[in-house]
Every structure is written in C-alpha cells, then in structure tokens.
Structure 1
Amino acid sequence: MTLIETIALVATIITIISFLSGLSICLNIYRKGSTHEFSSIPFIAGVLCCTLWLRYGYMLSDETMIFVNTIGLSLQAFYLIWFYAFTIKRSQLNKQIGFLLSLLVLAYMVVESRSDPTYLAGLLACISSLVFCAAPLALVRDVVQSKSSEKLPFILIISSFMVTIMWFLYGLVIKDQFVSVTNGIGALINTVQLSLFVIYPNKAKTQ
C-alpha cells in the first residue's frame, strides 16, 4: 500500500467514525421524544459541507473524496430527517431547509457559470468547512469569562482535530491547496480550542 493510499484509508475511517457521532444525538432525541435540547444547525451545516465537497470531489475525479462525502451526505440527510420527525418547530426547520436548498442551487448555478468551475467549487467547499470548524469559537468568550471549559464540546473538537489533521496530510500528498489549506487552518482552530481545556479545566469535573 502506497503512502497516499494509507493516508486516504485512515482519513476515510476517521471521518466516517466522526460522521457516525450524530447517531448518539438521534438516540437521545428518540429517548426524550423531543428535539427541545438539540439544534438542527449541525445537520444543516453537515449537508451543506458534504454536498459542496462531494461536488468538488467529482470535479477532481477523486474517489476518496467522493466516497467519504457520499457517506457523509447520506448520514447528515438521515439525521436531518430524524430531527424533522421529532421536532415541533417544523415551520422554523422548513425555513432552514429552504435556505439550505436555495444556497446549494445558487452555488451550483454560480459554479457552472464560471470558466474555471473547479476553482470556485473548491473555494466554496473550503469556506463552508472553515465556518463549520470555527463555530465553537463563539463560546471562547464564555470560557474565558467563566474560566471553565464545560461549555465546549470536547468530543466534537477532538474528533474534528483528528479529521482535519488527516485531510491536511491527504491534501499535501495529492497537492490540492483547498484540501490542505482548509484542513490546516481547521487543525489550528481545533488546537486553539483544545488548549482551552488545559488553560481552563472543566470546573464541574475538577470538583
């Protein structure tokens, strides 16, 4: 097995395991019989990111990217459907789904209208991933003020860190700037977030 095949395999396995973390949320929703304590935004963002990267993967004819994002898109769509089945705020969720579909249609039309569609498709996929990866940074202010990291989703951050590291390496070996730069920045963002667990330990767990 070559180096690129090894990195691709490890990146695929870790990413799919990361995608499967949504099953625990679906299980909790089922047990509670409600989505009251949960948000649909991660699933909306997951569908957006996977769709954009899947499109970019097809443009590159990259089998690894196509496979991983096909699995990811299928799972995120399932999670969203599951969320829809249990939520009582369907009008709000309908608006979010409508916005998502409009955004994807607009992105597709803009990309296809360009003379170099591959570049724009990669750029849009890059931006969507960075926004999704940096989302927990919104909690940094609360962490600093409370001097506790209890509000940060540790499992999500450590999972994202491992995924971004492997895809950063994959981007390097296939020499794709969008994959390497996106995940390199993502890994740095996750490193900053992980450092907060050391600087500001979870007070509840410490006690």
Structure 2
Amino acid sequence: MEDRLRLAVGVMGNAGSLMLYSAPMLTFATVIKKRSTEEFSCVPYILALFNCCLYTWYGLPVVSHRWENFPVVTINGLGIVLELSFILIYFCFASNAGKKKVALMMIPVVGMVLATMAISTFSFHDHRRRKVFVGSVGLVASVSMYSSPLVVVKRVIKTKSVEYMPFYLSFFSFVTSSLWMAYGLLSHDLVLASPNLVGCPLGMLQLLLYCKYRKKDQTVGEEPHKWDLESSHDDEDNTKLNNGEAVGAVKLEA
C-alpha cells in the first residue's frame, strides 16, 4: 500500500514538475515575439538546470540502488532539455551584457556538475555514501532554485507590480515542492524531502505577493482608461467650444 501511494505521489510529482519546467514557455514566447529579454532574469533557469542535472545523476543506478528513483530521473532529464532551451533563447535575445552574465554563470554550474559526478563515482564506493554526497550538493542546488525568484520578489516589492513574476511559475513551484516533499517522506529519503521544506514556504510567499500586488496592477491598468475617457470628453468639449466660437465669429462678421 505504501509503495503504491509513493508511486502515485511520484507520478503526480512528475506532472507538477513538468508544469513547472514548461511554465516559462509563455514568458519565452513573449521574448521571441518582442525579440528582447526586457527585465526578465535568466538566474532561475540556470539554477533550475543545475538542479535537474544533479537530481538526474542522483536517480541513476550509479548513485541510487538500481532504479529505485526512476521518477526522479525521467522528470529531471526532461527538465534539462527544457531549461537548456530557455537559456539558449534568452542568450539569443539578450544584450551583450546579458550574454556575458549568462556565460559567467553557466561555466561554474557546468564545472560543479562535472566535479560532483567525478567525485561521487571515484571517491565513494557504495550507494549510501554516493547518495549522501550528491544529495547534499543537490540540497544546495534545490534551495538556490526555489529561492532564486527572491531576486524577482525584491523587484515586485519595490515596484509594487507583478509584471515580471509569472504566476504559473510561482504556482507550480509551490505545488511541485509540496508533492516532492511528500514523495521524499514516503520514501524515507530526507535528501529528497529536505529542499522542499524550503521550497513550500517560498512558493507560498510568491503566491501571497502575487495576490497582493496583482490587484494594484489591475487598479493601475484601469486608471489610464479613465484618464483617456476624461481626456476624450475634454477634447469633445473643446471641439464644441471651438465650434461655438467659430459660429459666433461668423455671425459677428455678418
């Protein structure tokens, strides 16, 4: 019964993660359309790639015992493909300074992934120690990934606008971290559960901020329409006034 429940939660976790990793598609459709990255940050996608690489390695039989963490491998493998695609799109449409920033972040990320793979393979000779080592590095990566939107949260609080904090990214981040926390607890695997204990409250924080400042965005969005309406009335009044003056002038001349 427990194994079936664990498998069911793992499948739901995969579905939630798929939504999380594919959520930025809407953002990058806008980037491609406008041919500009505007104020969007690439940091969350680079950290998500780092996280996916580590947990794909964690779930493979080299680290885990056989295929006990097969759901972890499948979804994180797909995550690698999606995150790489987003980073490449961002790189194509970023400014020169933005491209330089992406490159400077990618080099240490790739280096840390390769170093983790090499150390876990050649320095440890049993699955338990390999899982502890890779899981510890993965814990840091996961906490970084879940906390990376705090960069955007700072902008949201400062500007009182959620324009650059996509709702679906925040929502699926919360749902996914909740499901994988449950999966880790059911598997008695604290390595999988621990980072999500951080991800849940951070995801909730983003959703609360979105609800708070979204209303203000709507209010601000409505005000220009009101101003436009008033100015159009003013224009009509001015036109009528001018017409009246013109008629008066004709009568006077007559």
User: Of residues 74, 77, 93 in structure 1, which corresponds to 2:84?
Assistant: 77
How far 1:183 sits from its partner (Å)? 1.1
Q: Which residue of 2 aligns with 1:39?
A: 41
The equivalent residue for 2:115 is: 106
For residues 181 and 27 of structure 2, what CA distance do their matches in structure 1 show? Answer: 28
CA contact (8 A) 1:7 1:170 kept: yes
Q: CA deviation at 1:159?
A: 1.4
Is the counterpart of residue 94 in structure 1 residue 96 in structure 2? Answer: no
**TM-score, normalising length: structure 1:** 0.84
Amino acid at match of 1:103: M
Tell me, yes or no, if the aligned pair for 2:42 and 2:87 is still in contact at 8 Å: yes
1:67 — aligned with what? 74
| 1:162 matches 2:149 | no
Contact 1:149/1:202, CA 8 A, preserved across alignment: no
TM-superposed deviation, 1:198? 5.7
The answer to whether the 8 Å contact 2:24/2:169 transfers is no
Q: Which amino acid aligns with 1:44?
A: I
One-letter amino acid of the counterpart of residue 34, structure 1:
S
> Cα offset for 1:113?
4.8
Which structure would you say has the larger Rg? 2
Deviation readout 1:51-78 (Å, 9 max, x if unpaired)? 0111111122311001000110111112
Tell me: CA distance 1:74–1:140, structure 2 relative to 1, closer, same or farther (3 Å): closer
Partner of 1:190: 203
Mapped partners of 2:91, 2:152: distance in 1: 26
Q: Tell me the amino acid that sits aligned with residue 76 of structure 1.
A: E
2:20 and 2:168 in contact (8 A); partners too: no
Equivalent residues of 1:11, 1:166 under 8 A apart: yes
1:164 aligned counterpart, secondary structure: helix
Structure 1 residues 87 and 180: alpha-carbon distance in aligned structure 2, compared to 1, 3 A threshold: same
Distance 2:154 2:106 in 1: 30
| 1:65–1:137 Cα change, 3 Å | same
Equivalents in 2 of 1:107, 1:187: separation in Å?
26
Q: Is the 8 A contact 1:33 1:86 kept in 2?
A: yes
Q: Select which of 136, 146, 171 maps to 1:123.
A: 136
Question: Kindly tell me: are residues 29 and 145 of structure 1, through their superposed partners in 2, closer, same or farther at Cα, counting changes over 3 Å?
Answer: closer
CA distance in 2, matches of 1:190, 1:138: 13
Structure 1: gaps (5+ residues): none
CA separation of 1:142/1:79 partners in 2, compared to 1, >3 Å: closer, same or farther? closer
**Runs of 5+ consecutive residues of structure 2 not aligned to the other structure:** 221-254
Structure 2 vs 1, CA of residues 202 and 153 (structure 1 numbering), >3 Å: closer, same or farther? farther
Cα 1:185/1:103, change in 2 over 3 Å: same
- CA offsets 1:106-165 (integer angstroms, 9 cap, x no match): 33334335432220101111111111112233565666677x463654332221110011
With the length of structure 2 as denominator, give the TM-score of the two structures: 0.70
Equivalent residue letter for 2:184: G
Question: What value does the CA root-mean-square deviation take over the aligned residues?
Answer: 2.6
- Are the equivalent residues in 2 in contact too, given 1:149–1:201 (CA < 8 A)? yes
Cα distance in 1 for residues equivalent to 2:10 and 2:153: 32
